[in-house]
Structure formats: C-alpha cells, structure tokens
Amino acid sequence: MNFRSKETLEVWLEEFRSAREAGDLIRVIIQDGSDGSDTGLVIVPVKNSSVSIFMQPTAIGDTHWQVTVEPTDETLTLNSHQLHLLASELSVAAELCAYLEARSVGHEETLSERG
C-alpha cells in the first residue's frame, strides 16, 4: 500500500519552503491511517484569522490532495491589508497542495519499507 509518511511530508515541506521561501508556520502532524500507519496531515495556520486549514491525500495511494477549510463561528472582518495577507496565505496553501500532488506522482513508499 502506498502512502506518504509524516517524515516524507516533512522533507517535501522543507523542499517547498526552500524553493518558495514561504510557509514557515506550516507543519506536518501524525495522522493514523485505517491500518494504523502514519499517513501524515499537513496543517496550514492562518494569521489574523480563526480559520483552520489542513490538507491530506484524497485517499491513501492517491496522488490527488484535498484542502479542508474548517468553519468558524466567528465573523471575519478585515481591512484591505489583512485581506491581502489572507489571500497571500491562501495562495501559498494552494501552491503547496499542487506541489504535494506533483511530488505524489510516482511516489512509492510502503509500510514494509518503514518497518
């Protein structure tokens, strides 16, 4: 079974940061797969907002990723500068998602290799 471990995602995230010089607050946390394997979960913090964003593969072994923006009960009121910063952060998240999808194509990492 193919998956992307937390360790693999941390390497990819560091490469993304180095190439882009963005995403310093983005991190990878352990996410337990249905078989107990570490599938990794990418957390994208958003400054000046209570919005929470995370991304993960659509399914283990799939090269497509999905971004989830968790709802908040708070109304978000921003000035033009804050809105620009939010748009910039969302742009970095979109670029990271595309980067992770590109890195996932042809990636082979099996549970037995991690054993």
pLDDT tens digits for 38-87?
A: 567 899 988 878 888 999 888 777 888 999 998 788 888 889 999 999 99
Is 50 contained in some domain? yes
Give the H or E element holding residue 13.
helix 6-20
**Cα–Cα distance list, 53 to 2, 20, 62, 92, 113 (Å):** 24, 19, 20, 12, 30
Q: How many domains does the chain have?
A: 1
Q: Among residues of the chain, what percentage have pLDDT more than 70?
A: 84
Is 115 contained in some domain? no
Is 1 contained in some domain? no
- Report field, pTM of the whole predicted structure over 0.95: no
Residue 68 DSSP class: E
Is 47 contained in some domain? yes
Note down the domain range covering 84.
6-110
CA distance 57 to 77: 31
What is the biggest distance separating any 2 CA atoms in the chain, rounded to whole angstroms? 51
Is 62 contained in some domain? yes
**Residue 3 binned pLDDT confidence (cut-offs 50, 70, 90):** low
